[in-house]
Amino acid sequence: MSPGSVQKVAVLGSTGSIGVSTLDVIARHPDRFRIEALTANTQVERLFEQCKQFRPAIAVMADESSARSLKLMLEESGLETTVSAGMDALCTTVSSDDINVVMAAIVGAAGLKPTLAAVKAGKRVLIANKEPLVMAGDIFIAEARRSGALLLPIDSEHNAVFQCLPSDFRTGNTPAGIRRVLLTCSGGPFRLRATSELSDVTPDEACAHPNWNMGRKISVDSATLMNKGLELIEACWLFGIEPDKVEIVIHPQSVIHSMVEYLDASVLAQLGNPDMRTPIAHALAWPERIDSGVASLNLFDVARLEFESPDVERFPCLRLASEAVLAGGTAPAILNAANEVAVQAFLDGDIRFTQIAEVIAAVMERCKPNDASDLETILSDDLRARDIAASMVQRPSALVRGGHQ
């Protein structure tokens, strides 16, 4: 970023929790950032209110029906925001010369294509959704090197690691002198729940995260620890390290967001209140620092910090993610696809909480991975895994109870 210039920002998924937090940070710095484009899935009313506040040049909805509704509301309010719909519109928007910064916060695999388009266009890309790197990490890193795009992680854990690395580090490279990366994990809402009771938990219980305010899909991922498994895969791509150099640490207070251990046994940690506006502000202004609106951390209130090892038998999704990253190729994309289908089925009441892992394990067994060197193969295996998972959630009684294969 050139000093003093106003950066034009596109927020993909502006009505979700990350999108809302991004707009909150940007609203605090009107001299530095301008919202050029906002996008949403189907939340017309919420996007309309955001358009009224930020007056973007462009708004993109997922489908034509939602776009027509938004366009009518904007016209009646006298706003001149241009409205379009669909994946092609998303990709065209983020590739525009009028955009400097792209917040990639579309949940799930739906964010892959527009995020990749932003990378190919050489933008500053703030990656809040794990799925693009999980599914196609090799392609993303290669395109970033070719285009000169700057990838900055928004996940609190990966952002913490980034902050603990040398100032000249760039994502996709391997930092010198690193012994291991320690990704912290709250343990989710069921850390202390008896294993025998997990099959009966409800979607609302699974979405009641003890420390973070997140969307329902990500909250369920946190409850199963799949969120941490996906973060392990993402960390390997972002920081150029092998899976055996990434360690998951349960830290219930969510104060230490992650750590990096160096060869001399020094361990650097990034601490802060559990509020996504901190990593968002860091990535928006990097390498500078700006106010995020987050309160200062009071260590006297925290009083104690606890750590424990994750139980992969109790939470098999973490083990499944480790198996996928070791298998390589399209295995992580298959894992992610099966997880998205299974989580939605759980939220819809079609399967039990413990059957999420059962579905994923069964899909990984049946859907053998291919080489992940091209996007077409990745998307093909993604679709294949979704089809298999969908057939399984329609007959959950056939699954092995308890999540073990």
DSSP secondary structure letters along 172-209: TS--TTEEEEEEEE---TTTTS-GGGGGG--HHHHT--
Reported as half-sphere exposure (CB side, CA atoms, 13 A), residue 405 has a value of 16
What does the pLDDT look like over 27-51, one tens digit per residue? 999 999 999 999 999 999 999 999 9
Contacts of 263 (CB under 8 A, 6+ apart): 177, 178, 179
What residue spans define the domains of the chain? Answer: 7-154, 313-405
The pLDDT of residue 266 is above 70: yes
Query: Average pLDDT in the 244-250 region?
Result: 97
In this structure, which topology does domain 313-405 adopt according to CATH? Rna Polymerase Sigma Factor; Chain: A (1.10.1740)
In this structure, which topology does domain 7-154 adopt according to CATH? Rossmann fold (3.40.50)
Q: At 184, is the pLDDT very low, low, confident or very high (cuts 50, 70, 90)? A: very high
- Report the pLDDT value the prediction gives residue 281, as an integer from 0 to 100: 98
What does the pLDDT look like over 88-99, one tens digit per residue? 999 999 999 999
- Report the pLDDT value the prediction gives residue 402, as an integer from 0 to 100: 38
The answer to whether 108 and 131 have CB atoms below 8 angstroms apart is yes
What is the CB neighbour count within 10 angstroms for residue 273?
17
Do you find a cis peptide bond into 3, omega within 30 degrees of 0? no
**Quick one: CA dihedral 145, 287, 242, 262, positive or negative?**
positive
Contacts of 311 (CB under 8 A, 6+ apart): none
Contacts of 353 (CB under 8 A, 6+ apart): 198, 199, 200, 201, 206, 223, 224, 346
The pLDDT of residue 214 is above 80: no
Q: How far apart are CA 212 and CA 206, in angstroms?
A: 13
